[in-house]
């Protein structure tokens, strides 16, 4: 399979007299001479391009004694170039030379012919460690490491050929993350592969596959692999049963999942992102036009501000090329040389600006940092919109056009897109699929980051970037913009339009902990923003990460005045319920609260004694509800007895163990008057996540995020550790403003008596203009479903299926379009794991 990259270099046929001659080749170092016969007195500057990727920019300025044979006035025409070690892979590669403006430099040979490229193969002695795991979760998975004993390395990235009956089926790149391999053999974690069978093989009842590492064509351990599938007749029966389950609300709720899993289908995992990106990239612009309409944006000028300070020459040229390749042509690129002190780089920028009238070079005499350099660019910018661009990153070719189409359709003054990371060689990884505008999330982390386009007038009114906050200057600017812009003026373009360069020293490569000073600057920026809003808080970094924790500092009098009524339904299970309320009493400080125990028809003598015991404790009420179980009605009846400003719905199998838990939930609700509900982070007894917010539409109606994740893990892009606005939270531990609860009619006790009542309540709150917040710093243990059994036992299944259909019909538009869960994640299952291919016109 040919290597595919995001920064292919177009071949430009030479019109002037250019020539290169190699007299040292065949190894890892090549050498020779090159010159431009139209400018014989100057040493030629050339791009070195390998497999279509700009690797380096070099100047042919080595002395060549043999230049006298050609009567040349300039003897400095020679060069030597060492091919990077990553091309020592036994594969054939193509090397080309080009001038700075992209003109091909032909390579002369001893036969007298001029070639466009020099092909080379660098062998690397190695042995393989590999295993085919087999079929896992509907995908065929395995891993491969190429071991170099001499160098002491075990590297992934091996190509794997899959065959059936001797014919190729797929060619994979073993570069997916495998933590288990690291623990077992201490190798490169990016060594795994996974793929779904093509349709023509999924239709067969039995197949045998073989797996080979390439180019060695060495068969992997575990190969051949035999797999059996249902035949055509069985497949038809399965599909019929799947449809009938939806129509009859039958016991096939479980069967439906099993049958779907039995039929392999095309799917993309987050780990398959490189493959997904290759398929999705051609759809970006058609999708945008379908979503936003086809407006005439040709006259809209965009100023792209690019501070430059000592980037790698190849990466810098690739960045510039990505701007020149934009489908929207009305742009200016302002290169701000922040006193780089690199003559070669300065000369390169001057050459580029001379060749492209839409580029301008601004030179600073003294290095001032990215904020000052960007502000200099802003002063010189002439466009109606400003785009921020790092000196070694890349734009998708349609990036500006898509952003302008979105702006024309929405009228937004601040727009941001999704992004991923790009490595040398063009491989993309680590996509950041972002939520729609999420102010509470922005307080904890600058999730907006790249690509950002701002109306120039709004940006200048905000005052540009603050040089005192270098490292977090963009986070500070975004927060200041939110102070003057309405939420509807901030728009998320859900497309990967920006490729963040991974280098050894960059935050993109090393993670958010790469720049600890940035974390401190970010905390200072958030603190200052909240102070301007008149909100008392202390902001601290979460470790060395550029992610922050906001501890609200509202006056004690205000907190105590608010007050919380804690409602806990139970039926028997006396020991567990006692442990629950005793934990509340032991660990709740600084909040005025009452406990309302909702006895749903308990029948044991122990329960009678427990009710009497609790009713005699100050601040506790016991309400007996002698009715069949109806979660919504039980809690609605309890709310009638509540006397506090806030309600805390809590299961009797939830246990708190730290003193600030209720204060944190209440503070979060007091931070903004339109906060309707706040949910906690709940863990199973083994310390893994049971609830970290609810995502709409996944699995039909909704699903918990990060179920099964380690309780201390940050989750996808810090979503499991940062406070944020979500579409719903579980009522197992949910604080709700009582006026908001009453306003939307409380829980639906008629049609949603068992399941989804909390999701329904949250959706109603959001539709009424209220916010729902997930607060990860309130952590409690949840022994899920102990108190009332499994929702899916035979007696309750039909009711559950009915309520499932109620939600699907009631929220037909809302469920598939959770604004805080990116459209590119699958709704079939696997929260923050599976990707989907959205076609133009689909939502």
Pairing of strands 359-363, 428-432: unpaired
Element (H, E) at 577: helix 574-587
Pairing of strands 385-388, 548-552: unpaired
Residues 6+ apart with CB under 8 A from 519: 472, 512, 513, 541, 543, 544, 545, 546, 547, 548
Which position has the token pair 């109806």?
630
Selection from 684, 677, 686 nearest residue 704 by Cα: 684
Fold category of 18-121 in CATH: Immunoglobulin-like (2.60.40)
Q: What is the pLDDT of residue 13?
A: 52
Contact 713, 743 (CB under 8 A): no
Asked if 798 and 809 touch (Cβ cutoff 8 Å), the reply is no
In DSSP terms, which residues pair with 308 in a beta bridge?
A: 337
Residue 355 tokens read as 């060749």
Q: ω before 224 within 30° of 0 (cis)? A: yes
Domains 285-539 and 556-693+728-811 share a fold: yes
pLDDT of residue 830: 78
Domain 556-693+728-811, CATH class in plain words: alpha beta
> What residue spans define the domains of the chain?
18-121, 127-228, 232-262, 285-539, 556-693+728-811
3-state secondary structure of 303: strand
List the chain residues with pLDDT less than 70.
1-14, 111, 124-125, 137-138, 231-232, 234-235, 238-239, 241-266, 504-515, 785-798
Work out the angle between the directed axes of helices 399-410 and 284-292 (0-180°, nearest 10): 10
Which tens digits make up the pLDDT trace of 519-574?
889 999 999 999 999 999 999 999 878 899 999 999 999 998 999 999 999 999 99
Which pair of structure tokens corresponds to residue 28?
Answer: 């890892």
Residue 483, H or E segment = helix 473-484
Q: Could you give the CA distance from residue 822 to residue 495 in angstroms, rounded to a whole number? A: 9
The end-to-end CA distance of the chain, in Å, is 32
Phi and psi torsions of 679, nearest 5°: -115, 155
Q: How, if at all, do strands 675-683 and 733-737 pair?
A: antiparallel
Determine the pLDDT at residue 132: 94
Quote the CA–CA distance of 489 and 456 in Å, as a whole number: 14
| Structure tokens given for 55 | 């690797």
Indicate the DSSP class of residue 221. B
Neighbours of 236 (CB within 10 A): 11
* pLDDT for position 730: 97
The CA distance from 585 to 581, in Å, is 6
Of 436, 433, 440, residue with least CA distance to 677: 440
Residue 229: which residues within 8 A CB-CB, separation 6 or more?
202, 203, 204, 205, 206, 207, 262, 263, 264
For residue 205, is it left (φ>0), alpha (ψ between -120 and 50) or beta? alpha
Contact between 241 and 253 (Cβ < 8 Å): no
User: Would strands 564-570 and 593-599 be described as parallel, antiparallel, or unpaired?
Assistant: parallel
H or E stretch covering 742:
helix 738-743
Q: How far is CA 212 from CA 146, 147, 187, 274, 357, in A?
A: 13, 16, 20, 21, 51
CA proximity to 173, closest of 194, 189, 146: 194
- Tokens 């982390």, located at residue: 445
CA distance 623 to 534: 41
Task: State the pLDDT at residue 217.
Answer: 85
Burial state string for 253-275 with b = 16 or more CB within 10 A and e = fewer than 16: beebeebeeeebeebbbbbbbbb
Q: What gap in Å lies between CA 593 and CA 663, rounded to an integer?
A: 11
Three-state secondary structure readout of 558-572: HHHHHCEEEEEEECC
In whole angstroms, give the CA distance from residue 731 to residue 645.
17
Q: How far apart are CA 650 and CA 730, in angstroms?
A: 9
Confidence at residue 722, expressed as pLDDT on a 0 to 100 scale: 97
CA 762/CA 94 separation, integer angstroms? 57
Helix or strand (DSSP H, E) at 168:
strand 167-174
Rg (C-alpha) for the chain, rounded Å, is 31
Query: How many angstroms separate the CA atoms of 146 and 86, rounded?
Result: 13
Could you tell me which residues are beta bridge partners of residue 79?
A: 32
Q: Which residue has the tokens 């959001």?
A: 766
403, 493 Cβ separation under 8 angstroms: yes
Q: Please, which residues have CB within 8 angstroms of residue 799's CB and are 6 or more apart in sequence?
A: 753, 754
CB 533 within 8 A of CB 486: no
Q: What is the pLDDT of residue 623?
A: 96
Cα 56 to its chain centre, rounded Å, is 30
Cα separation values, 118 from 24, 52, 96, Å: 12, 13, 6
Q: Which residues pair with 735 in a beta bridge?
A: 648, 678
The predicted model scores a pTM of: 0.81
Phi and psi, residue 99, nearest 5°: -75, 175
CA distances from 270 to 177, 221, 431, 718, 835 (A): 10, 26, 8, 16, 6
Residue matched to tokens 């709940």 = 682
Per-residue model confidence (pLDDT) at position 261: 61
- Segment holding 348, helix H or strand E: helix 343-355
Q: Backbone dihedral region of 51: left (phi > 0), alpha (psi from -120 to 50 degrees) or beta? A: left
Respond yes or no on whether the N-terminal peptide bond of residue 809 is cis (omega within 30° of 0). no
Q: Which of 651, 652, 663 is nearest to 587 (CA)?
A: 663
DSSP per residue over 375-389, as a string?
HHHHHH--SSEEEE-
Architecture of domain 127-228 in this structure: Sandwich (2.60)
3 state SS of 28: coil
Q: What CA–CA distance (Å, rounded) separates 148 from 155?
A: 8
| CATH homologous superfamily for the domain 285-539 | Spore Coat Polysaccharide Biosynthesis Protein SpsA; Chain A (3.90.550.10)
CA distance 594 to 604: 25
Kindly state the tokens that stand for 247: 């129509």
3-state secondary structure of 707: coil
Cα separations in angstroms, 96 against 11, 43, 57, 119, 134? 10, 18, 12, 9, 41
Q: Are strands 331-337 and 359-363 parallel, antiparallel or unpaired?
A: parallel
As a whole number of angstroms, the longest Cα–Cα distance in the chain is: 111
Instruction: Give the span between the Cα atoms of 601 and 738, in whole angstroms.
Output: 26
């Amino acid at each position: 399979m040919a290597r595919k990259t995001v920064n292919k270099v177009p071949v430009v046929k030479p019109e002037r007299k250019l020539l290169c001659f190699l007299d040292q080749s065949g190894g890892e170092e090549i050498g020779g001479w090159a010159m431009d016969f139209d400018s014989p007195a100057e040493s030629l500057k050339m791009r070195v391009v390998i497999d279509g990727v700009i690797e380096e920019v070099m100047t042919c300025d080595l002395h060549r004694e043999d230049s006298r044979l050609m009567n040349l006035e300039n003897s400095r025409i020679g060069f030597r170039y060492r091919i990077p070690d990553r091309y020592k892979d036994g594969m054939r590669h193509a090397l080309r030379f080009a001038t700075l403006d992209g003109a091909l430099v032909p390579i002369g040979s001893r036969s007298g012919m001029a070639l466009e490229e020099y092909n080379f193969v660098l062998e690397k002695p190695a042995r393989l460690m590999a295993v085919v795991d087999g079929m896992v979760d509907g995908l065929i998975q395995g891993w491969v490491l190429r071991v170099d004993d001499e160098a002491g390395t075990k590297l992934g990235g091996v190509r794997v050929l899959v065959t059936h009956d001797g014919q190729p089926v797929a060619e994979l790149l073993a570069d997916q993350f495998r933590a288990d391999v690291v623990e077992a053999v201490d190798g490169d974690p990016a060594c795994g592969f996974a793929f779904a069978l093509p349709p023509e093989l999924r239709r067969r009842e039995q197949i045998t596959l073989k797996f080979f590492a390439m180019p060695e064509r060495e068969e992997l351990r575990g190969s051949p692999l035999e797999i059996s599938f249902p035949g055509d007749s069985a497949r038809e029966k399965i599909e019929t049963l799947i449809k009938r389950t939806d129509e009859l609300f039958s016991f096939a709720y479980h069967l439906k999942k099993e049958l779907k899993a039995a039929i392999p289908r095309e799917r993309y995992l987050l780990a398959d992102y490189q493959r997904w990106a290759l398929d999705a990239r051609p759809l970006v612009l058609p999708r945008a036009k379908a979503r936003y309409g086809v407006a005439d944006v040709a006259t809209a000028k965009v100023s792209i501000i690019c501070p430059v300070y000592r980037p790698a020459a190849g990466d810098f040229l690739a960045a510039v090329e990505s701007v020149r390749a934009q489908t929207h042509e009305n742009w200016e690129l302002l290169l701000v040389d922040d006193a780089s002190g690199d003559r070669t780089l300065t000369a390169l920028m001057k050459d580029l600006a001379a060749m492209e009238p839409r580029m301008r070079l601004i030179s600073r005499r003294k290095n001032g940092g990215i904020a000052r350099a960007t502000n200099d660019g802003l002063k010189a910018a002439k466009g109606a919109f400003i785009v921020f661009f790092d000196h070694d990153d890349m734009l998708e070719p349609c990036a500006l056009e898509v952003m302008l189409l979105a702006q024309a359709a929405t009228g937004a003054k601040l727009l941001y897109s999704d992004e991923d990371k790009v490595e040398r060689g063009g491989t993309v990884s680590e996509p950041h699929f972002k939520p729609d505008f999420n102010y509470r999330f922005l307080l904890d982390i600058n999730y907006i980051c790249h690509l950002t386009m701002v109306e120039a007038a709004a940006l200048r009114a905000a005052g540009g970037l603050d040089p005192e906050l270098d490292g977090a200057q963009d986070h500070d600017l975004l927060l200041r913009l939110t102070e003057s812009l309405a939420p509807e003026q901030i728009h998320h373009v859900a497309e990967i339009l920006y490729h963040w360069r991974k280098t050894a020293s960059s935050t993109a490569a090393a993670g958010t902990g790469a720049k600890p000073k940035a974390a401190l600057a970010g905390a200072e920026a958030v603190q200052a923003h909240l102070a301007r809003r008149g909100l008392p808080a202390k902001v601290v970094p979460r470790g060395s990460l550029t992610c922050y924790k906001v501890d609200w500092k509202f006056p004690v009098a205000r907190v105590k005045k608010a007050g919380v009524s804690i409602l806990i339904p139970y039926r028997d299970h006396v020991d567990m319920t006692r442990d629950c309320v005793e934990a509340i009493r032991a660990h709740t400080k600084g909040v005025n609260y009452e406990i309302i125990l909702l006895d749903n028809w308990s029948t044991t003598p122990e329960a009678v004694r427990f009710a009497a015991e609790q009713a005699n404790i100050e601040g506790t009420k016991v309400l007996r509800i002698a009715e069949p179980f109806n979660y919504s009605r039980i809690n609605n009846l309890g709310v009638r007895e509540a006397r506090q400003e806030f309600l805390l719905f809590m299961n009797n199998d939830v246990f708190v163990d730290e003193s600030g838990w209720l204060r944190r939930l209440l503070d979060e609700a007091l931070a903004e008057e339109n906060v309707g509900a706040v949910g906690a982070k709940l863990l199973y007894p083994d310390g893994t996540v049971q609830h970290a917010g609810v995502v709409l539409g996944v699995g039909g109606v909704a699903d918990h995020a990060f179920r099964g994740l380690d309780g201390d893990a940050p989750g996808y892009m810090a979503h499991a550790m940062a406070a944020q606005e979500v579409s719903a939270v579980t009522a197992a531990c949910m604080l709700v403003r009582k006026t908001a609860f009453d306003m939307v009619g409380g829980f639906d006790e008629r049609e949603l008596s068992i399941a989804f009542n909390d999701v329904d309540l949250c959706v109603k709150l959001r539709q009424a203009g209220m916010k729902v917040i997930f607060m990860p710093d309130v952590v409690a243990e949840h022994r899920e479903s102990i108190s009332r059994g499994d929702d899916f036992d035979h007696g309750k299944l039909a009711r559950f299926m009915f309520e499932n259909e109620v939600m699907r019909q009631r929220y037909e538009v809302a469920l598939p379009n959770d604004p805080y869960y990116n459209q590119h994640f699958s709704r079939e299952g696997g929260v923050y794991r599976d990707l989907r291919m959205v076609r133009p016109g689909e939502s």
